[in-house]
Chain A
Amino acid sequence: MLGKTAGGLFWMYRYLERAENTARLIEAGQRIALTRLEAGDSEWTSILQSAGVKSAFDHEHDAVTRDAAVDWMLRSKANPSSVLSCIESARQNARLVRTALTGEVWGATNAAYMRIRETLARKVSERDLPDVLRDIRQHTSLVRGMTHGTMLRNEIYDFVRLGTFLERADNTARILDVKYYVLLPSVSAVGTSLDNVQWETILRAVSARGGFRMEYGAGGGPAEITEFLTLNRRMPRSLAFCVDKLRSNLRYLHHGVDGQLPSLAMVDHLERQYLSHDIAAVFERGLHQYIEEILDQLGRIARQIEVDFRFYQ
């Protein structure tokens, strides 16, 4: 398989995952804005931070308002991580790797692109927002479903999975990075309505509300939420889950090849150092520092994958 094709697949699925994550973040932001009683747009600041687009936003805007934040994340061409930009980049990469995809996956990607581009051609009103967000998630889900249902489980699929889980781990870590203070046991006055709303945001932003209730019942506070999103191995957006997938797919790719694979060694290291302890150890180390270090390592792993599989040279 060509190195370029591997890179194209990796990025196609990173962008698809990012588009979906961004849509989910907007949904969470909108939800809080509607259920909160005090005035102001403060929540959108942390939503922008979670999406990793706050500084670019500030460059173009004087203040954070709901309308501007939603538009920036949904359809701004100046924002490479907006849903529209992501879908365009995903399709561009899909064209590049067209020969590696099944007709069904390509068709679903192209349909997602055409539909979302049409929906996002104009500013989206608050009233239409829920429908638009649903539409985006349905279309990206269709691509994922077609991928799952029609693609051969060979190295092509391994790069698909690497892109997906690297982006997803990054996304979950980012949300924790922005919201870590809400989860610190020392600061939180358990049970206040403010905290409940904040926790809700975090869980909603990773579609984990239902799963969390299943796992912890009606109870469960900040420590449990943190544990759920970092160490739980059955939660499909947790760090441990994503890193586990990175490891298994790198192992498949390395199968039958002599020598060490640097990116795989880095993933093993990340797993050993950060994801093999219990949650008490995490808080002992310091939640903020813990998350920062994981984010940093994810970035390094992504760059090492590029080198290991000759994406660019």
Chain B
Amino acid sequence: MTFDEMWGHADRLRDPYRDFHDWFAEEDPARLRAKQREAEELFRLTGITFNVYGRAEAEERLIPFDIIPRIISGNEWSKLSRGIEQRVRAINAFLHDIYHNREIVKAGRLPEAMIAGNEAYLPQMIGVQPPGGVYTHIVGIDLVRTGPGEFFVLEDNARTPSGVSYMLENRETMLQMFPELFSRNRVRPVQNYPLDLRRSLAACAPSGTSGKPVVAVMTPGIYNSAYYEHAFLADQMGVELVEGHDLRVVDGRVAMRTTRGFTPVDVLYRRVDDEFLDPLNFNPDSALGIPGIMDVYRAGGITIANAPGTGISDDKAIYSYMPEIVEFYTGERPLLQNVPTWRCSEPDDLAYVQDNLADLVVKEVHGSGGYGMLIGPTASKKDLAAFRRKLKARPGNYIAQPTLSLSTVPIFARSGLAPRHVDLRPYVLVSPEGVKITPGGLTRVALKKGSLVVNSSQGGGTKDTWVLEE
């Protein structure tokens, strides 16, 4: 049976929602409906939109926002954040290891082929020491919940996790529309994220940096689906937003073209993929990159966040080894559970997946955004047959997981409160000064009844996420 975060398993109001429920019971639905529309107008005016890939026109769409918050108690959160910190530290140690001594392979805990044969593994990073020893400066851990104490990690986002601007704007919108809610609930703030991010990035500056480190955000440009977020973060941090053609290697430094000449950059928070970073070192056809930036990086002249080559740690095949990885590097049992995962590259697993396809979720190893995924229980016979053929042709390209009964949180639907499935992406900052987790994160919600797909590209919405002060 599905666990509802407001009503539990048994229609008994759960504690974190008590104050909210009292408030809601006294509200006039018509006023709330007007507020919901107001929120949408606010989002549209601010331009909080994302561009849809694969459309003829560069269409900008709003991600639907639901006014019912998702509420997490302080206790639940402290347990979660301990697990998240453990996992993020392990990921960082793992990355350092596989680009240096490969102890985990030598110890026989991870097959050599998982690294050597992996597209996301960058040989250019072998032996490179990133400034401050940090690989994943910004991480988003996707969590799902199936019961009161049961959280699972669905995915680690260690490349360039997006969505943090929604976390911030959702809170801003709620504060504007329902100030009274925040006087009766003690909700832990998220608004410090941009300054925390700037501080965390600055703390990772190369050791030779003199004075205040110059930080810049790098975007692929205004047609990128997350451009709004790139501009938002640069604006909130008070740093420059640059594209590849604003940057050039000058005298062994990466420098940005200003109206008065070239100014060196110390820390580059890049929101472009590895392969578009440096046409000299990676993709020679890329018009987006900065020729030679990798040479500067290897010489310790710039910090790139996240470090090139971190993608391998959020690869879905590596994911299945995360429990071993956490244990290997921390010496502790993992505090956060992985979803049981079958690797279709292994004959026994493949056979199981083929026999039970209709009950499983099958994902591409390198896929993201909910594309190229099969949800067995809701798929048609035709879809299942088509997927069977794909599996047979390239088994190593897929992993499979059981269909989890994701928890629900009510949304404000036409008929009143209605339960919908959610996930949660907390945001984590890593620097030599420590690991910082913003309380809450981004809650994505499947707006269609019964649907388990929360991705915004597939019609999902978002909610404000509260962590209560105990």
A residues with a Cβ closer than 8 A to B are 1-6, 92, 95-96, 98-99, 103, 106-107, 110-111, 114, 155, 253, 257, 309-310, 313
Query: Which B residues fall within an 8 A CB radius of A?
Result: 44-47, 222, 227, 231-232, 234-235, 240-243, 245-246, 256-261
Contact, CB under 8 Å: A155 / B259: yes
With a 10 A CB-CB cut-off, give which of B46, B232, B260 has the most chain A CB atoms: B260
CB neighbours of A92 from chain B (8 A): 222
Alpha-carbon distance between A210 and B60 when the two chains are bound, in angstroms: 43
Chain A hits for B259, CB < 8 A: 1-3, 6, 155, 253, 309-310
Query: With a CB–CB cut-off of 8 A, which chain B residues contact A6?
Result: 259
Decide if B257 touches A96 in the complex (CB within 8 Å): no
- Cα distance, A12 to B78, chains bound together (Å): 48
**Residues in B whose Cβ lies below 8 Å from that of A98:** 231-232, 235, 241
- For B260, give the chain A residue with the smallest CB separation: A257
Quick one: which of B231, B243, B246, B261 contacts A95, CB cutoff 8 A? B231
Instruction: Jot down 11 A-B pairs with beta carbons below 8 A, ordered by A.
Output: A3-B258, A5-B240, A6-B259, A95-B47, A95-B222, A95-B231, A99-B231, A99-B240, A99-B241, A111-B45, A310-B261
Closest to A96 in B: B222
Chain B residues, Cβ within 8 Å of A106: 46-47
Give bound CA distance, A103 to B48, whole Å: 12
Most chain-B Cβ atoms within 10 A of its Cβ — which of A3, A6, A106?
A3
Number of A-B contacts (CB under 8 A): 55
Q: Return the 3 tightest CB-CB contacts between A and B, nearest first.
A: A98-B231, A309-B259, A99-B235
CB-CB < 8 A to A103: which residues of B? 46
Given A95-B222, A107-B46, decide whether A4 and B246 contact each other with a Cβ distance below 8 A.
yes
Nearest CB of chain B from residue A206's CB, rounded to whole Å: 31
Bound Cα distance A96, B234 (Å): 12
A3, B222: Cβ atoms under 8 Å?
A: no
Q: A95-B222, A99-B241, A107-B46 are in contact. Are A3 and B227 (CB under 8 A)?
A: no
| Distance in angstroms between the alpha carbons of A96 and B245 in the assembled complex | 14
For residue B235, which residues in chain A have a CB less than 8 angstroms away from its CB? 98-99
Q: Which residues of A contact B227 (CB under 8 A)?
A: 95
Cβ–Cβ < 8 Å partners of A310 in chain B: 257-259, 261
| Closest partner residue, chain B, to A111 (CB atom) | B45
The listed residue with most A CB atoms (<10 A of its CB), out of B45, B242, B259, B260, is: B259
Residues of chain B with a CB closer than 8 A to A99's CB:
231, 234-235, 240-241
Also in contact, A2 and B256, with CB within 8 A (given A110-B45, A110-B47, A111-B45) = yes
Q: Which residue of A lies closest to B58 (CB)?
A: A92
- Which residues of chain A come closer than 8 Å to B245, judged between CB atoms? 4
A95 to chain B, nearest CB (A): 5
Q: Which residue of B231, B232, B257 contacts A2 across the interface (Cβ within 8 Å)?
A: B257
**CA separation between A168 and B46, bound complex, in Å?**
29
B246 and A3 contacting across the interface, CB-CB below 8 Å: yes
With both chains docked as a complex, state the minimum distance between the C-beta of A89 and any C-beta of chain B, in angstroms: 12
* List of A residues within 8 angstroms of B246 by Cβ: 2-4
Best-buried of A1, A98, A111, A310 by chain B (most CB within 10 Å): A98
List the A side residues contacting B232 at CB < 8 Å. 98
Cα distance A92–B243 when bound, in Å?
Answer: 15
Could you tell me the distance in whole angstroms from the C-beta of A225 to the nearest C-beta in chain B? 38
**Most chain A beta-carbon neighbours within 10 Å: one of B45, B47, B231, B241:** B47
